[in-house]
Amino acid sequence: MRFGGLTCVDKVSTVVENHELVGMIGPNGAGKTTVFNMITGVYDPTEGDIVFNGESIVPYKPYEVSAKGISRTFQNIRLFKSLSVKDNVRVSFIKNIKSKYFSSILQLGKFSREEKEIDKRIDELLEMFDLLHEKDEYASSLPYGDQRKLEIVRALATSPKLLLLDEPAAGMNPTEKVDLMNLIKKIKELFDISILLIEHDMKVVMGVCERIFVLEYGKKIADGKPEEIRNDEKVIQAYLGDTHHI
């Protein structure tokens, strides 16, 4: 991926298997978020290919990528600020509902039943992340950590097969981080999905991820099981002198 003359993600290749929880780590500016933006169609890669379920998803727009079963959260929280917590989640159900424009106005057919079903599922998801008591608040009035969790709930509500989490634990304290990682692991089992998550802090991902790959200056420098990454020369070098210890 190039922006003007700047190559910011270069020949990164990896595979996320079904039902795998993979961590992507690397220093700030390594190109991790850019990888997410390429996968989800926010940026079109200038070269290379992205294949999901055997199909190239490069030509697709973000909403089409979402329809294929990939959802994401944003590092710089992008909740819908004039919507309540539950309506933030509600929006994710739109792509799968039967009651579109006119049947919603005329409240025809399955409309009422569908709305009730969605209300129920929103409550279930919010409950799981301990956000139910805040469901009628504006999303922007939630504490920071809860906003991050709401981003995950909103992404999950699109019923993805692959979930991309961009620094979901950013800004949380160490115990909150561990709790969240355990929750993410549980979510993976419960919803039977694959997860690719970005995390700045290596210690946090080591515990939960089945596989980790490391980006530095837009290049992949390592890819393997947590134990392998921990002992990898290049990774140690990249992180040496950094405040992050393995």
Partner 1 sequence: MQVKSKLLFLSSLILIFVINLFAGSIDPYFYTVIIYIGINIILATSLNLINGYTGQFSLGHAGFMAIGGYLSIALSTYFAPFFQNTFGTGVFGEAITFIIVLLAGGTAAALVGLLVGVPSLRLKGDYLAITTLGFAEIIRVVIQNMDVIGASQGFRGVYIYNNGVKAPQMVQDLGEMSNIFYAVPKFTNFFWTFLFVAIIIYYVHNLINSTYGRGFLSVKDDEIAAESMGINTTKFKVSAFVSGAFFAGIAGVLYGHFNLYLNPEDFNFLKSVEIVVMVILGGMGSMIGVIIAAVLLTILPEFLRSVSEYRMIIYALLLIIMMLTRPQGLFGFKIKRKKL
Ligand X SMILES: Nc1ncnc2c1ncn2[C@@H]1O[C@H](COP(=O)(O)OP(=O)(O)O)[C@@H](O)[C@H]1O
For ligand X, the binding residues (CB under 6 A) are 3, 8, 26, 28-34
The conformation of residue 132, written as its DSSP 8-state character, comes to G
User: What is the nearest approach in angstroms of ligand X to the Cβ of residue 76?
Assistant: 10
Number of chain positions touching partner 1 (CB under 8 A): 48
Residue closer to partner 1 by CB (options 51, 67) is 67
Contacts of 29 (CB under 8 A, 6+ apart): none
Residue 28 binds which entry of partner 1, ligand X, Mg ion, none, CB below 5-8 Å type-dependent? ligand X
Total Cβ atoms within 10 A of residue 174: 11
Q: How far is the CB of 152 from ligand X (least distance, A)?
A: 18
Q: How far apart are CA 53 and CA 56, in angstroms?
A: 8
DSSP type of residue 65: H
Give SS3 for 220: strand
The conformation of residue 5, written as its DSSP 8-state character, comes to T
Q: Is the dihedral of CA 218, 23, 167, 56 positive or negative?
A: positive
Please report whether residue 33 would count as binding Mg ion according to CB under 5 A.
yes
Shorter beta-carbon distance to Mg ion: residue 89 or 168: 168
Binding track, positions 124-153, relative to partner 1; x by CB under 8 A = --------------x-xxxxx---------
Q: What, of ligand X, Mg ion, partner 1, none, does residue 142 touch, CB below 5 to 8 Å by kind?
A: partner 1
Which one of residues 37, 40, 75, 147 is an interface residue with Mg ion (CB under 5 A)? 75
CB of 77 to partner 1, least distance (A): 9
In whole angstroms, the minimum distance from the beta carbon of 66 to partner 1 comes to 4
* Residue pointed to by tokens 């393997």: 224
First CA to last CA across the chain, in angstroms?
A: 29
| Angle made by CA atoms 33, 246, 77, in degrees to the nearest 5 | 25
> Could you tell me which residues come within 8 angstroms of residue 107 by beta carbon, excluding any fewer than 6 positions away?
none
Nearest approach in angstroms of CB 234 to partner 1 is 32
CB-wise, 34 or 194, nearer to ligand X? 34
Of 44, 63, 127, 225, the one binding partner 1 (CB under 8 A) is 63
Q: Token pair for residue 166?
A: 């961009």
CA 231 to chain centre: 27
Site for Mg ion contains 73 (CB under 5 A): no
**By the rule CB under 5 A, 88 interacts with Mg ion:** no
Cα–Cα distance for residue pair 56/66, rounded to 1 Å: 14
Binding site for partner 1 (CB under 8 A): 40, 42, 61-63, 65-67, 71-72, 74, 78-83, 87, 90-97, 99-101, 104-107, 111-112, 114-115, 118, 138, 140-144, 154-155, 157-158
